[in-house]
Protein backbone atom coordinates (compact mmCIF):
# COMPACT_ATOMS: atom_id res chain seq x y z
CA UNK A 1 0.00 0.00 0.00
CA UNK A 2 1.48 3.34 -1.09
CA UNK A 3 1.94 6.40 1.12
CA UNK A 4 -0.82 8.33 -0.68
CA UNK A 5 -3.29 5.50 -0.20
CA UNK A 6 -2.40 5.21 3.48
CA UNK A 7 -2.83 8.99 3.90
CA UNK A 8 -6.22 8.93 2.17
CA UNK A 9 -7.39 6.08 4.37
CA UNK A 10 -6.17 7.87 7.48
CA UNK A 11 -8.04 11.05 6.52
CA UNK A 12 -11.20 9.05 5.79
CA UNK A 13 -10.91 7.25 9.12
CA UNK A 14 -10.40 10.52 10.98
CA UNK A 15 -13.43 12.07 9.24
CA UNK A 16 -15.58 9.06 10.08
CA UNK A 17 -14.43 9.22 13.70
CA UNK A 18 -15.21 12.94 13.88
CA UNK A 19 -18.66 12.35 12.41
CA UNK A 20 -19.40 9.47 14.79
CA UNK A 21 -18.14 11.45 17.77
CA UNK A 22 -20.19 14.53 16.96
CA UNK A 23 -23.25 12.39 16.28
CA UNK A 24 -22.95 10.75 19.68
CA UNK A 25 -22.35 13.95 21.63
CA UNK A 26 -24.36 16.60 19.79
CA UNK A 27 -28.10 16.51 19.16
CA UNK A 28 -29.99 18.71 16.68
CA UNK A 29 -31.10 21.96 18.33
CA UNK A 30 -34.82 22.45 17.74
CA UNK A 31 -36.29 25.93 17.65
CA UNK A 32 -38.63 26.84 20.45
CA UNK A 33 -42.27 26.81 19.31
CA UNK A 34 -43.80 30.17 18.38
CA UNK A 35 -47.53 30.70 18.87
CA UNK A 36 -48.07 32.28 15.44
CA UNK A 37 -46.89 29.09 13.72
CA UNK A 38 -48.98 26.61 15.71
CA UNK A 39 -51.39 25.33 13.06
CA UNK A 40 -52.57 21.72 12.93
CA UNK A 41 -53.09 21.93 9.16
CA UNK A 42 -51.41 23.52 6.14
CA UNK A 43 -52.25 27.21 5.81
CA UNK A 44 -52.69 29.75 3.01
CA UNK A 45 -51.04 33.17 3.02
CA UNK A 46 -52.28 35.78 0.56
CA UNK A 47 -49.26 37.17 -1.31
CA UNK A 48 -49.44 40.97 -1.02
CA UNK A 49 -53.10 40.45 -0.21
CA UNK A 50 -53.77 38.18 -3.21
CA UNK A 51 -52.35 40.31 -5.98
CA UNK A 52 -54.13 38.62 -8.92
CA UNK A 53 -57.56 39.38 -7.49
CA UNK A 54 -57.10 43.06 -6.54
CA UNK A 55 -54.29 45.64 -6.59
CA UNK A 56 -51.40 44.38 -4.45
CA UNK A 57 -51.04 45.68 -0.90
CA UNK A 58 -54.33 47.62 -1.09
CA UNK A 59 -57.38 47.39 1.12
CA UNK A 60 -59.54 45.65 -1.54
CA UNK A 61 -56.89 42.91 -1.82
CA UNK A 62 -56.72 42.30 1.93
CA UNK A 63 -60.51 42.43 2.30
CA UNK A 64 -61.02 39.88 -0.49
CA UNK A 65 -58.38 37.51 0.84
CA UNK A 66 -59.83 37.69 4.35
CA UNK A 67 -63.34 36.96 3.04
CA UNK A 68 -61.95 33.92 1.18
CA UNK A 69 -60.65 32.50 4.45
CA UNK A 70 -56.86 32.84 4.34
CA UNK A 71 -54.99 32.30 7.58
CA UNK A 72 -52.51 35.06 6.85
CA UNK A 73 -51.11 37.81 4.66
CA UNK A 74 -47.61 37.92 3.21
CA UNK A 75 -46.59 41.58 2.94
CA UNK A 76 -43.54 43.68 2.10
CA UNK A 77 -42.71 46.83 4.02
CA UNK A 78 -40.89 50.04 3.18
CA UNK A 79 -40.23 53.33 4.94
CA UNK A 80 -41.59 56.63 3.64
CA UNK A 81 -39.85 60.00 3.71
CA UNK A 82 -41.61 60.84 6.99
CA UNK A 83 -40.62 57.41 8.38
CA UNK A 84 -44.00 55.70 8.23
CA UNK A 85 -43.96 51.93 7.65
CA UNK A 86 -46.16 51.07 4.67
CA UNK A 87 -46.94 47.76 3.00
CA UNK A 88 -45.36 48.13 -0.43
CA UNK A 89 -43.13 45.91 -2.57
CA UNK A 90 -41.18 47.99 -5.10
CA UNK A 91 -38.71 50.73 -4.24
CA UNK A 92 -40.53 52.99 -6.73
CA UNK A 93 -44.23 53.75 -7.13
CA UNK A 94 -44.08 53.47 -10.93
CA UNK A 95 -45.33 49.93 -11.44
CA UNK A 96 -48.50 50.03 -9.35
CA UNK A 97 -49.59 53.68 -9.20
CA UNK A 98 -50.24 56.72 -11.36
CA UNK A 99 -47.10 58.38 -9.96
CA UNK A 100 -43.35 58.02 -10.47
CA UNK A 101 -40.28 58.07 -8.27
CA UNK A 102 -38.94 56.36 -5.16
CA UNK A 103 -41.11 55.51 -2.16
CA UNK A 104 -38.47 56.97 0.17
CA UNK A 105 -38.92 60.40 -1.44
CA UNK A 106 -42.65 60.58 -0.68
CA UNK A 107 -44.37 61.33 2.62
CA UNK A 108 -47.37 59.20 3.56
CA UNK A 109 -49.70 62.08 2.75
CA UNK A 110 -48.10 62.49 -0.69
CA UNK A 111 -48.35 58.77 -1.41
CA UNK A 112 -52.03 58.85 -0.55
CA UNK A 113 -52.60 61.39 -3.32
CA UNK A 114 -51.71 58.65 -5.82
CA UNK A 115 -53.94 55.84 -7.03
CA UNK A 116 -52.20 52.59 -6.12
CA UNK A 117 -54.57 50.46 -8.16
CA UNK A 118 -54.02 52.44 -11.33
CA UNK A 119 -52.10 49.77 -13.29
CA UNK A 120 -53.95 46.70 -11.98
CA UNK A 121 -55.35 44.33 -14.64
CA UNK A 122 -57.83 41.72 -13.44
CA UNK A 123 -58.21 38.12 -14.63
CA UNK A 124 -60.54 39.23 -17.43
CA UNK A 125 -58.10 41.84 -18.70
CA UNK A 126 -60.00 44.82 -17.27
CA UNK A 127 -58.68 47.78 -15.23
CA UNK A 128 -61.44 48.22 -12.63
CA UNK A 129 -59.45 50.37 -10.19
CA UNK A 130 -58.05 53.02 -12.55
CA UNK A 131 -60.36 55.70 -11.18
CA UNK A 132 -60.62 54.43 -7.60
CA UNK A 133 -57.87 56.53 -6.01
CA UNK A 134 -56.73 53.68 -3.75
CA UNK A 135 -54.38 54.88 -0.99
CA UNK A 136 -51.44 52.97 0.46
CA UNK A 137 -51.95 50.84 3.57
CA UNK A 138 -49.72 51.32 6.59
CA UNK A 139 -48.53 48.31 8.57
CA UNK A 140 -50.19 49.83 11.64
CA UNK A 141 -53.57 49.89 9.86
CA UNK A 142 -53.18 46.30 8.71
CA UNK A 143 -52.32 45.01 12.17
CA UNK A 144 -55.19 46.91 13.81
CA UNK A 145 -57.85 46.17 11.19
CA UNK A 146 -57.17 42.41 10.92
CA UNK A 147 -56.58 41.34 14.53
CA UNK A 148 -57.06 37.60 13.89
CA UNK A 149 -54.73 37.25 10.90
CA UNK A 150 -51.13 36.00 10.87
CA UNK A 151 -48.97 38.54 9.02
CA UNK A 152 -45.63 37.64 7.49
CA UNK A 153 -43.61 40.86 7.25
CA UNK A 154 -40.79 41.03 4.71
CA UNK A 155 -38.35 43.94 5.19
CA UNK A 156 -37.55 45.21 1.68
CA UNK A 157 -35.29 48.19 2.39
CA UNK A 158 -31.65 47.17 2.11
CA UNK A 159 -29.58 47.38 5.33
CA UNK A 160 -27.05 49.65 3.63
CA UNK A 161 -29.64 52.39 2.96
CA UNK A 162 -30.83 55.06 5.36
CA UNK A 163 -34.35 53.61 5.35
CA UNK A 164 -33.03 50.10 5.85
CA UNK A 165 -30.88 51.18 8.77
CA UNK A 166 -33.95 52.53 10.58
CA UNK A 167 -36.41 49.77 9.72
CA UNK A 168 -35.49 47.03 12.27
CA UNK A 169 -35.83 49.36 15.27
CA UNK A 170 -38.97 51.12 13.97
CA UNK A 171 -40.62 47.80 13.20
CA UNK A 172 -39.79 46.46 16.64
CA UNK A 173 -41.23 49.55 18.33
CA UNK A 174 -44.49 49.19 16.37
CA UNK A 175 -44.82 45.49 17.24
CA UNK A 176 -44.11 46.25 20.89
CA UNK A 177 -46.56 49.17 20.99
CA UNK A 178 -49.41 47.13 19.47
CA UNK A 179 -48.52 43.97 21.44
CA UNK A 180 -48.66 41.76 18.33
CA UNK A 181 -45.59 39.63 19.07
CA UNK A 182 -47.61 36.42 18.66
CA UNK A 183 -49.27 37.40 15.38
CA UNK A 184 -46.34 38.20 13.13
CA UNK A 185 -43.28 36.69 11.47
CA UNK A 186 -40.45 39.03 10.50
CA UNK A 187 -38.26 38.08 7.58
CA UNK A 188 -36.16 39.60 4.80
CA UNK A 189 -34.16 38.56 1.76
CA UNK A 190 -31.34 40.25 3.67
CA UNK A 191 -30.49 37.93 6.57
CA UNK A 192 -28.70 40.90 8.17
CA UNK A 193 -32.03 42.70 8.57
CA UNK A 194 -33.51 39.73 10.42
CA UNK A 195 -30.45 39.57 12.69
CA UNK A 196 -30.65 43.30 13.42
CA UNK A 197 -34.37 43.11 14.16
CA UNK A 198 -33.74 40.24 16.56
CA UNK A 199 -31.24 42.34 18.51
CA UNK A 200 -34.35 44.19 19.70
CA UNK A 201 -36.81 41.29 19.72
CA UNK A 202 -34.53 38.75 21.43
CA UNK A 203 -36.47 35.82 19.92
CA UNK A 204 -39.80 37.11 21.27
CA UNK A 205 -41.05 37.34 17.67
CA UNK A 206 -41.02 34.52 15.10
CA UNK A 207 -38.29 34.95 12.48
CA UNK A 208 -38.26 33.90 8.83
CA UNK A 209 -35.23 32.67 6.90
CA UNK A 210 -33.20 34.97 4.68
CA UNK A 211 -31.23 33.68 1.69
CA UNK A 212 -28.12 33.04 3.81
CA UNK A 213 -30.13 30.96 6.28
CA UNK A 214 -31.60 28.86 3.46
CA UNK A 215 -28.19 28.15 1.94
CA UNK A 216 -26.73 27.16 5.32
CA UNK A 217 -29.61 24.81 6.09
CA UNK A 218 -29.48 23.14 2.69
CA UNK A 219 -25.70 22.72 2.91
CA UNK A 220 -26.10 21.07 6.31
CA UNK A 221 -28.90 18.84 5.01
CA UNK A 222 -26.80 17.56 2.10
CA UNK A 223 -23.69 17.00 4.23
CA UNK A 224 -22.87 14.28 6.73
CA UNK A 225 -23.02 16.86 9.50
CA UNK A 226 -26.68 17.85 9.32
CA UNK A 227 -27.00 17.11 13.03
CA UNK A 228 -24.66 20.03 13.73
CA UNK A 229 -27.02 22.60 12.20
CA UNK A 230 -28.55 24.96 14.77
CA UNK A 231 -31.27 27.11 13.18
CA UNK A 232 -31.70 30.71 14.25
CA UNK A 233 -35.05 31.24 12.51
CA UNK A 234 -38.52 29.77 13.03
CA UNK A 235 -39.99 29.31 9.54
CA UNK A 236 -38.67 28.87 6.00
CA UNK A 237 -40.64 30.75 3.36
CA UNK A 238 -38.96 29.68 0.14
CA UNK A 239 -39.51 28.97 -3.56
CA UNK A 240 -39.63 25.33 -4.70
CA UNK A 241 -36.30 25.96 -6.44
CA UNK A 242 -33.34 28.24 -5.75
CA UNK A 243 -31.42 28.35 -9.03
CA UNK A 244 -30.80 24.70 -9.90
CA UNK A 245 -31.34 23.54 -6.30
CA UNK A 246 -34.65 21.82 -5.54
CA UNK A 247 -35.94 22.98 -2.15
CA UNK A 248 -39.18 20.97 -2.23
CA UNK A 249 -37.74 17.52 -1.53
CA UNK A 250 -39.79 15.64 1.10
CA UNK A 251 -36.59 14.76 3.01
CA UNK A 252 -35.56 18.44 3.20
CA UNK A 253 -39.04 19.43 4.40
CA UNK A 254 -38.89 16.63 6.98
CA UNK A 255 -35.36 17.63 8.05
CA UNK A 256 -36.55 21.14 8.84
CA UNK A 257 -39.75 19.84 10.42
CA UNK A 258 -37.71 17.77 12.85
CA UNK A 259 -36.06 21.03 13.93
CA UNK A 260 -39.52 22.53 14.57
CA UNK A 261 -39.31 24.68 11.42
CA UNK A 262 -42.36 24.63 9.11
CA UNK A 263 -41.80 25.24 5.39
CA UNK A 264 -44.00 27.63 3.39
CA UNK A 265 -43.60 27.90 -0.39
CA UNK A 266 -44.06 30.97 -2.60
CA UNK A 267 -45.51 32.16 -4.89
CA UNK A 268 -47.71 29.20 -5.83
CA UNK A 269 -50.78 29.68 -8.03
CA UNK A 270 -50.89 26.39 -9.95
CA UNK A 271 -53.29 23.80 -8.44
CA UNK A 272 -51.11 20.83 -9.41
CA UNK A 273 -48.05 22.38 -7.75
CA UNK A 274 -50.06 23.26 -4.64
CA UNK A 275 -51.17 19.63 -4.40
CA UNK A 276 -47.64 18.29 -4.89
CA UNK A 277 -46.17 20.57 -2.22
CA UNK A 278 -48.87 19.78 0.36
CA UNK A 279 -48.42 16.04 -0.21
CA UNK A 280 -44.67 16.45 0.26
CA UNK A 281 -45.17 18.06 3.65
CA UNK A 282 -45.40 21.83 3.06
CA UNK A 283 -47.07 23.61 5.97
CA UNK A 284 -48.01 26.74 4.05
CA UNK A 285 -48.75 28.06 0.57
CA UNK A 286 -48.13 31.71 -0.32
CA UNK A 287 -50.33 32.59 -3.28
CA UNK A 288 -51.68 35.37 -5.49
CA UNK A 289 -54.85 33.28 -5.92
CA UNK A 290 -56.43 32.61 -2.53
CA UNK A 291 -59.67 31.81 -4.39
CA UNK A 292 -57.92 28.70 -5.74
CA UNK A 293 -55.59 27.87 -2.86
CA UNK A 294 -57.95 28.11 0.15
CA UNK A 295 -60.51 25.47 -0.92
CA UNK A 296 -57.84 23.25 -2.48
CA UNK A 297 -55.57 23.18 0.58
CA UNK A 298 -58.57 22.48 2.82
CA UNK A 299 -59.65 19.60 0.54
CA UNK A 300 -56.13 18.13 0.40
CA UNK A 301 -55.75 18.30 4.17
CA UNK A 302 -59.05 16.51 4.71
CA UNK A 303 -58.10 13.80 2.20
CA UNK A 304 -54.65 13.27 3.73
CA UNK A 305 -56.14 13.21 7.22
CA UNK A 306 -58.75 10.67 6.16
CA UNK A 307 -56.13 8.45 4.50
CA UNK A 308 -53.96 8.55 7.64
CA UNK A 309 -56.91 7.53 9.83
CA UNK A 310 -57.72 4.60 7.54
CA UNK A 311 -54.07 3.48 7.60
CA UNK A 312 -54.01 3.54 11.40
CA UNK A 313 -57.16 1.42 11.54
Quote the mean pLDDT of the chain: 90
Flag whether pLDDT at 309 surpasses 70: no
With cut-offs at 50, 70 and 90, classify the pLDDT of residue 31: confident
Q: Which helix (H) or strand (E) holds 85?
A: strand 85-87
Domains of the chain: 29-85+147-312 (3.20.20.190)
What pLDDT, in 10s, does the model give residues 170-180? 999 999 999 99
- Collect all residues with Cβ–Cβ distance below 8 Å to 159 and sequence separation of at least 6: 165, 190, 192, 193, 196
pTM of the model: 0.88
With b for 16 or more beta-carbon neighbours within 10 A and e for fewer, the 265-291 pattern comes to bbbbbeeeebeebbebbbbbbbbbbbb
Binning pLDDT at 50, 70 and 90, where does residue 238 land? very high
Amino acid sequence: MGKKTKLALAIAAASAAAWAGSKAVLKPQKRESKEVLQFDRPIVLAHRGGSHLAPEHTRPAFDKAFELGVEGFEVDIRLTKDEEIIVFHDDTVDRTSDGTGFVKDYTLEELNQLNHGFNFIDLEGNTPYQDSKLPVVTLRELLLDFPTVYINIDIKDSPDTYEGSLMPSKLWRLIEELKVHNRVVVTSFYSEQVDRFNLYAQNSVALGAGETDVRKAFAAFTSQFGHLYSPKVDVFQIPPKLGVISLDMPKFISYLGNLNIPVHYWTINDPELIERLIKRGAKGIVTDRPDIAVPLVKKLYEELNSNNEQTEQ
